Homo-oligomer: A and B are copies of this chain.
Amino acid sequence: MVPPAALVDLLRREDGYLIISHFNPDGDTLGSAAALALALEGMGKRTLLLCRDTVPEQYAFLPAVGRFHTFEAAAASGTDLREYANLVLVDCNAPERTGMEKSPLAGLTFRNSVVIDHHETENVFGDIRWVLPGAAATGMMIHCLVRELGVDLTKDMATDLYAALVVDTGNFRYENTTAEVLEAASALAEAGAEPHVIHREINETWSEGRFKLFLKVLNTLYLKDNIAITSVTRKMLEDTGTTPDDMESFVSTPKVIQSVKVAALLRETGEREYKVSLRSRDGINVARIAEAYGGGGHRNAAGCTVRAGLETAKAELIEKIKEQITLSELQ
């Protein structure tokens, strides 16, 4: 992994960077953007970190992540955004993924625009585009960039980047956990990142309400024919004082069961309306199922909305999932 020379040149030459994370931010976009800001500041450059949404609580501990402003807050603060004439999109590759076009930033022009991302894309936005769909996390790319820039990798930067890796590899459990990822993780730990502390801050900071919701959701488990279905009503969220954000990863929990090939979580979003999250393994294509309902996603992780009562929605889904399991077995 080598960053484009044009990118390295630009970062050495220019001053003033508006560094923007994607909306609904996760640990990769936040940690990567924050580490990049710290690296540029280490080179004596001015940076401003922006995101449409406020930082989720479990990432607030990350160094420099406290410096993120929402677009509104940045505009209201009176900061002259034109002082940050270079735009860098981190962990996304088009302005639409940042929400900046429908914000006080709409209409700003930049001297240079840069994209650093690992998502597949057909976009063309950006004077310099460094997009590596093969990278496990954008954090891998920033780590590499920091080395190339010759900046000292500080404990703060290492912590941000380690968190980025942890989030996008499921704490080194997903298929994207390669020798290269583990080598980078080792270098980051060597530079001061503390794996167990980062794990605890990100994954072991549930509220009691979230745990109660977890139990309520698991108690709805319906298991049949290698399919696991759970569901959550609006009342469950109300009763536990939680929000849909608290459900992150719940859909995957029943996948600890060896026989489960597809897991689905139905969340009530309205009268006879459910948002469905789908997860699969062994090559079963759940994107197909989601597409049938006008949704989409990847082969092993997809989502859609089903308009029906809960029992009807479940029964329909099970039929569609069974078809996909059969198809995958025929392959």
Residues of A within 8 A of B (CB): 171-175, 177-183, 185-187, 189-190, 195-196, 199-200, 203-208, 210-211, 215, 218-219, 221, 223, 254-259, 281
B204 touches A177 (CB 8 A): no
The 8 Å CB contact of A179, one of B175, B189, B256, is: B189
The copy count of this chain in the complex is 2
Shortest beta-carbon distance from A56 to chain B in Å: 14
Q: Are B186 and A186 in contact (CB under 8 A)?
A: yes
A112–chain B nearest beta-carbon distance, Å? 35
**Are B179 and A187 neighbours in the complex by a CB distance under 8 Å?**
yes
Contacts of A257 in B (CB 8 A): 204, 206-208, 210-211
Contact in complex: B215, A189 (CB < 8 Å): no
Contact (Cβ within 8 A) B172 A208: no
Q: Which residues of B contact A219 (CB under 8 A)?
A: 215, 219
A171, A182, A207 — which one has the most chain B CB atoms within 10 A of its CB? A182
The residues of B that contact A281 with a CB separation of less than 8 Å are 200
With a CB–CB cut-off of 8 A, which chain B residues contact A204? Answer: 255-258
Do A190 and B179 contact each other (CB < 8 Å), given the known contacts A199-B173, A259-B208? yes
| Between-chain CB contacts (< 8 Å), 18 pairs | A172-B195, A177-B195, A178-B195, A179-B186, A179-B189, A182-B185, A182-B186, A183-B183, A183-B186, A186-B186, A204-B257, A206-B257, A208-B223, A211-B223, A211-B256, A215-B215, A215-B219, A215-B221
Indicate if the CB atoms of A211 and B173 lie closer than 8 Å: no
Q: Measured between alpha carbons, how far is A199 from B203 in the docked complex, in Å? A: 18
CB <8 Å contact, A256 and B203: yes
The 4 closest A-B pairs by CB, nearest first: A182-B186, A179-B189, A179-B190, A177-B195
Task: Give A215 to B256 CA distance when docked, in angstroms.
Answer: 13
Known: A182-B182, A215-B219. 12 other contacts (CB 8 A): A172-B199, A173-B196, A173-B199, A179-B190, A182-B185, A182-B189, A183-B183, A203-B256, A206-B256, A207-B258, A211-B223, A218-B218
Q: Inside 8 A of A181's CB, which chain B residues have their CB?
A: 186
Min CB distance, A42 to chain B, in Å?
A: 21
